[in-house]
Amino acid sequence: MENTIERMHQDPDYCRYISMKMSAVLHDIGINEESIQKRRSARLKSESMLNAITLLINDDASIYIFGSQSECSIPLLMQSDVDYLSCNNKINLVQTSGQWKPRKYNILVIQDDSTSPGYCLLQDLNETSDKDFETILFEKEMRKIFDSEGAFELRGERMLMKNTFLTKLDFKGCRNGPALTRPGNGRNLDFDYVKAMHCTDWPFEAKSWLNNQGKGNWPSKELKEKCETTGFFVVPVASKSGLYEDLEWRLSTSLAERLLMFSLNITQMRCYVLMKLIVKTFITPECGDVISSFICKTTLFFCIFKQETCIWREQNLLLCLKYCLEELKDFVMQENCPHFMIHGNNLLAGKVTSSNKKRIENILHEIIKSNGQQLLKISICDFGYLLQKICSKPYPFIQGDYHLRNKILFGTEVIIQYGVNTVLQFCMSSFNGKLLLTNFINSLVQKYVDIHSSKEYKKAIRLLTPIVRAFLGSIIASDDIRTNTKMSSTALVCLLGGFSSDAASGKLKLASALLSADELIATEAVLNNVIDMYRNNSVHEQCLCKRFSTELNTYFKPGFIKHLITKNEKNFRNVIALCVRYMPCEFYCMPKEIQYEIFRSSKKEKFRDFKRFDDFLIERFDDFLMAMGAVDSLPYLYFLQYKTYGSLRNVTEQQKALRNLINVIRREPFLYHRETDFNLLGQCMEQEERYEDAFVCYLKSFKIRSDNNVVRIHICKLLNRMINN
């Protein structure tokens, strides 16, 4: 059958028609204003949460998330790596000696004829004004660290910092330019980690950019003024054509570039996404990584700078895309793609060869000439298929389930992932988790009331604090129950502070502690409160036992879908039930049936005390999970009811809770700890003296997960009991 797009080439409104259809497809795969706004907000909260967590170990560093994840310049269901940048705030980079600061280690940024454009040298700044005693002690301590790691090298009369200094990490990954890259393992995303230093001043090389004015008044004067306040980073990588392989550092204006990306309209964002899809589909398989996403972004910046703002409209998407591809082709032919802010820095230096140059030129020429027909070959996120489908219909394209996934994928639960798992990892590696969490909560409160804290930072603290309070309360309760079988008011206050963490897990932690302290009436009241949360059929189970979730649920309860449509994202905590997790230090405030789960791993984990944020990033969180007990909220609710009514000798309600537990495990489509749920059900069956049913539960648990599963112990105990009986 003749291609739909090809048939329409003679249509005078062809460009507008195809542009609108392309926009509709991109909208449905997540490139729309609502999705981008929510995803950016989530990433900024995640970034703020990571910065809040540095308070755990008093690591004076700032953490940033850059790249596609923070820009939201990828389709909703397309995975990309996470780009972290960690900046040491103890170091003050200056471009003139007059910018020297006390109680900082001051380093001079040098750019002269010997350095490549966009690169610099870093010199230890010794000639300073009078120093106070604290500054002298600080400098001595820092010099001791630098000397032990061989940070500086004497070149002539200058003491220069080596760019290998920041890449000395015990990292299970590989180097990729300035980044340390660690691949994912199926459940976790790949991530790139860059260590950098920051200068609050705008780079001298980019001063002229502030005065240049484009056709469409972009960037605006106000936007440039904001960019100027962001300063720049230096990252540890040298120019390929430079004279100082181990001493040269690259200038990075990532914060300013992020501001530029956030200022783009939806058509400009879609144009950028299409460029990336084209490069990934047509150029990368043929020519490798010659054209990076950053080059596509830079090309887009130049195109927006050179054109009137009025052309960047939805109906002109195809024309805008062709214009960008023409600009990219010119860069390749000239073998020079200037950095948008530092024009002397050629982003294509050393990448374009005679063979791939001609090949890239031909590919781009064919795509431009095809007037959109080549885009049908893009298989990423089914873009080509969806475009063909929407063009073959005489009526508007009906959205699929992408829009619904868009609503929840980057909701509150994903933001919480960054924080909770990190806190647990730090806590379990500490010698005194209770003291660490207490100090951490106090630090969060101080940061929250600080007038200089950003709005996103305060939102992140509001999300993180209730969960941390629940864990702290559980740790205190465990110590109380171990020593005098009663729970103190301090533990109770902390656990009550964790009530608002989500729809269920914080409340279930309190119920578990109350049950362990033999406060049965109070336990029943808390569990009834959780039951009320589930009554409207809107609570959605969510597991955070991994750093970054890449799994998407395709089933949602009717009440949850209704909530997504009618409620604000801020209320997501009322309809999301996180899994309930216990650390070993909470041992005495969990039922004995859950205590077994602490010993589910046969491998003895070696936890180390973290001194820097780097130590967290280079560790595998999966290893820490094996030293924790974890259970899904809804099965755990009915299990605690079974235990509570059993202690209250209310047989009717106890049997009702058992039936509910059986039905949930059988029918709930998404239980993330189903092997643990079967272990709990099996132990309930043992208490009922239904040994054959218990054995069936244990076999199902073993079938779900044969390794790192405490079910082996349960089976041995059960067989011993059956034989003796």
The secondary structure of 30-88 as a DSSP string is: T-SHHHHHHHHHHHHHHHHHHHHHGGGGT--EEEEEESHHHHT-S-TT----EEEEEEE
Q: What is the per-residue burial (b if ≥16 Cβ within 10 Å, else e) of 517-533?
A: bebbebbbebbeebeeb
* Nearest-10 Cα torsion for 701, 707, 712, 715: 30
What pLDDT, on a 0 to 100 scale, did the predictor assign at position 133? 66
Label residue 406 by pLDDT band (50, 70, 90).
very low
665-693 pLDDT, tens digit each:
998 887 889 999 999 999 999 999 999 99
Residues 274-283 have a mean pLDDT of: 95
| Distance between CA atoms of residues 627 and 603, nearest Å | 9
Q: Of 524, 205, 485, 493, which is closest to residue 345 (Cα–Cα)?
A: 205
Instruction: Please report the pLDDT score of residue 676 as a whole number.
Output: 94
- Residue 160's region, left for phi above 0, alpha for psi from -120 to 50, else beta, is beta
Here the tokens at position 21 are: 């259809």
Q: What is the pLDDT of residues 48-92, one digit of tens each?
A: 888 887 777 666 788 898 888 788 888 766 766 778 888 988 888
Residue 542 has φ and ψ, to the nearest 5°, of -140, 135
Query: Is pLDDT larger for residue 343 or for residue 455?
Result: 343
- What's the pLDDT tens digit per position in 137-158? 777 777 787 877 788 888 888 8
User: What pLDDT does residue 240 have?
Assistant: 80
Give 13's DSSP letter: T
The answer to whether 361 and 332 have CB atoms below 8 angstroms apart is yes
Q: What are the phi and psi torsion angles at 402 (to 5°)?
A: -60, -40
Q: What is the DSSP string of 646-681?
A: HHTT-HHHHHHHHHHHHHHHHH-S--TTHHHHHHHH
Nearby residues of 555 by Cβ (< 8 Å), 6 or more positions away: 669, 670
Mean pLDDT comparison of 64-78, 148-162, 301-315, 384-398, highest-scoring range: 301-315
Is the separation of the CB atoms in 599 and 708 below 8 Å?
Answer: no
Q: What number is the average pLDDT over the span 570-585? A: 81
- Using CA atoms, how far apart are residues 578 and 501, in angstroms rounded to an integer? 9
**What sign for the dihedral angle of Cα 635, 637, 640, 641?**
negative
pLDDT at 397 over 50: no
* CB atoms inside a 10 Å sphere around CB 81: 18
Task: Say if CB 347 and CB 339 are below 8 A apart.
Answer: yes
- The Cα–Cα gap between 635 and 531 comes to 12
pLDDT top residue among 673 and 547 = 673
Task: Give the confidence band of 662 by pLDDT, cuts at 50, 70, 90.
Answer: very high
Is pLDDT at 4 greater than 80 in this prediction? Answer: no
Cβ atoms of 308 and 268 closer than 8 Å: no
CB atoms within 10 A of CB 703: 11
Amino acid letter, 447: K
Confidence of residue 410 (pLDDT cuts 50, 70, 90): very low
Q: Report whether 553 contacts 397 (CB < 8 A).
A: no
Statement: residue 262 has pLDDT above 90: yes
Is the Cβ–Cβ distance between 299 and 263 less than 8 Å? Answer: no
Contact 651, 663 (CB under 8 A): no
DSSP designation for 167:
G
Task: Look at residue 552 and tell me whether its pLDDT is greater than 50.
Answer: no
SS3 346: strand
Question: Residues 587-604: what's their mean pLDDT?
Answer: 84
CB 300 within 8 A of CB 271: yes
| Residue 280 amino acid letter | K
Query: Strands 82-88 and 191-199: what pairing?
Result: parallel
Using the 8-state DSSP alphabet, how is residue 393 labeled?
-
Residue 13 has a CB neighbour count (10 Å cut-off) of: 11
Encoding tokens for residue 127? Answer: 């000639």
- In which residue are the tokens 């008093």 written? 58
CA 18 from chain center: how many Å? 34
The domains located in the chain, with CATH, are 1-30+264-399 (1.10.1410.40), 81-255 (no CATH), 411-672 (no CATH)
Residue of 290, 289, 374, 275 whose CA lies nearest to 332: 290
Please name the residue that has the structure tokens 């054959």: 692
- Report how far residue 719's alpha carbon sits from residue 725's, in angstroms, rounded to the nearest whole number: 10
Per-residue pLDDT of 151-188, as tens digits, reads 888 888 888 999 887 665 544 545 555 666 665 544 45
How far is Cα 701 from Cα 718, in angstroms, rounded to an integer?
A: 14
Phi-psi region of 676 (alpha: psi -120 to 50; beta: other; left: phi over 0): alpha
Residue 435 DSSP code: H
Q: Helix 489-497 to helix 505-516 angle, to the nearest 10 degrees?
A: 160
